Amino acid sequence: MSINSALRPLAKNAIVSSNFQAQNSDSMSGEHGNRKFTTKDQDNDDSKDINCAQKHKGGWWYSSCLAANLNGLYLEEKHEVTGIGLYWSGWRVTKESLEATEMKIRPKNFRKS
């Protein structure tokens, strides 16, 4: 069984709830907080006419499309379209992919020891 087929049943229930802290900006809590995960074949975003995962080339917790996309394409050069690469709103330039990203996931009831 592939990871994708194992996770597919969870996609509609995968909700990000962020207590996020960053040095630069919080591109998760507002636009993407408490959202269902959208993929090219599971459109759970609020956009009526488009599928945000198709438009931005990667699945994410989209609302009306874009403040962040860490699952976009890694593009080595500058590109014409905002948000198709590894994108984080408020980070330097919008038409370049971030070089690397990292997400850490833990249970909602996680307690620091």
In tens digits, the chain (113 residues) has pLDDT values of 444 555 556 556 555 555 555 555 555 555 656 778 888 999 999 898 999 999 888 888 888 887 788 888 888 777 777 677 777 777 666 677 778 777 777 777 777 76
pLDDT at residue number 54: 92
Which DSSP letter does residue 71 get?
Answer: T
Asked whether the beta carbons of 43 and 50 are under 8 A apart, the reply is: no
With H, G, I as helix, E, B as strand and everything else as coil, classify residue 7: helix
Residue that the structure tokens 């962020």 belong to = 18
| pTM for the predicted model, two decimal places | 0.65
Q: Tell me whether residue 3 is exposed, middle or buried, using C-beta atoms within 10 angstroms of its C-beta: 0 to 12, 13 to 18, 19 or more.
A: exposed
